[in-house]
């Protein structure tokens, strides 16, 4: 935010909000698809980061950078540092390499004058603040004079843009690879395919389909138009889009070769079998297919 007597750049909420969105997505994943390792780790990781930012804002407030006639003041967490113009020899704004050279971040690099003996220079991170490089440079030249800003410093603009593009391409490829996984494993022997190539004799309108890789003669080739699946070690319950139901039960204690298929069933027949077999559907794992 630029004012008449100073230039102020406050900390942005972009990264905390992104972490909060990731936390919500992992919680949703865990609640809908079961608390697998990925959901637990993601929830813990982004939960810790989100709580850290909440604590920071409540305890210390937002970081900021202020440039005025007196000098440069910046705040990082609980520490606020003020530098007078006579303490500053040169300033430069550029992109610094990070994360093993994959990404870059913006910094305001301050070279202190020889009168300041405590340290030679200070780097103030601009990435994560509501500011543009050009505005920071203009503020330095306006309040500190044109001789303070070092125009010879390299901004590495091209490297930064290349790093961002490479990161974006990698993210798109990663999402594409994840989306290419069309199989959801119910058990070691049973899966649901959201799309495929007609390997089981299905057509495009049949997806999602429930299939078995055991392949014994008494089982159907596939069960089409799957909407909901509930399962445990001994039973699988399937609801189709046409409100028909199937129940797959193990001959022994665990699902394996020779499992018994019953279906298609009406809701009433499904409920009677569940009651007779004492199946607790509330305690089973569940997956919904749109």
Q: Evaluate if residue 112 carries a pLDDT over 50.
A: yes
DSSP lists the bridge partners of residue 94 as 107
Which residues have a Cβ under 8 Å from the Cβ of 199 and sit 6 or more positions away? none
Tens digit of each residue's pLDDT (9 = 90 or more) over 192-233: 887 776 777 788 788 888 888 777 767 788 888 888 999 898
Q: How confident is the model at residue 92 (pLDDT cuts 50, 70, 90)?
A: confident
Mean per-residue pLDDT, 159-176: 73
Query: Residue 2 gets which letter from DSSP?
Result: B
Tokens matching residue 213: 């890789």
Domains of the chain by residue range:
6-166, 183-288
> Could you tell me the pTM of the whole model?
0.52
Q: What is the pLDDT of residues 129-161, one digit of tens each?
A: 998 888 998 899 899 888 888 776 545 554 656
Q: What are phi and psi of 120, to 5 degrees?
A: -85, -35
Predicted pLDDT at 172: 78
Classified as helix, coil or strand, 76 is strand
> 149 Cβ partners below 8 Å, 6+ apart?
90, 91, 92, 93, 137, 140, 141
């Amino acid at each position: 935010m630029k004012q008449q007597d100073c230039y102020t750049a406050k900390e942005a909420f972009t990264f905390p909000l992104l972490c909060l969105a990731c936390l919500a997505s992992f919680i949703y994943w865990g609640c809908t698809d079961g608390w697998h390792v990925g959901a637990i780790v993601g929830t813990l990781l982004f939960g810790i980061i989100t709580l850290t930012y909440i604590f920071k804002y409540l305890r210390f407030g937002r970081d900021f950078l202020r440039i005025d006639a007196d000098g440069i003041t910046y705040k990082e967490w609980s520490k606020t540092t003020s530098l007078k113009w006579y303490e500053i020899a040169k300033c430069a704004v550029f992109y610094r390499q990070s994360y093993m050279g994959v990404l870059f971040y913006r910094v305001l690099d301050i070279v202190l004058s020889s009168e300041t003996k405590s340290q030679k220079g200070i780097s103030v991170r601009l990435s994560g603040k509501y500011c543009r490089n050009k505005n920071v440079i203009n503020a330095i030249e306006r309040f500190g004079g044109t001789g303070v800003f070092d125009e010879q410093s390299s901004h590495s603009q091209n490297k930064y843009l290349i790093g961002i593009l490479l990161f974006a391409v990698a993210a798109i490829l990663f999402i594409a690879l994840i989306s290419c996984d069309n199989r959801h494993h119910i058990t070691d022997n049973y899966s649901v395919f959201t799309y495929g190539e007609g390997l089981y004799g299905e057509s495009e309108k049949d997806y999602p389909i429930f299939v078995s890789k055991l392949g014994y003669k008494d089982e159907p080739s596939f069960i089409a138009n799957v909407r909901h699946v509930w399962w445990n070690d001994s039973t699988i319950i399937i609801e189709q889009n046409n409100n028909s139901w199937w129940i797959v039960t193990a001959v022994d204690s665990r699902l394996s070769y020779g499992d018994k298929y019953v279906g298609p069933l009406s809701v009433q027949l499904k409920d009677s079998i569940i009651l007779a077999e004492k199946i607790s559907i509330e305690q089973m794992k569940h997956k919904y297919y749109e």
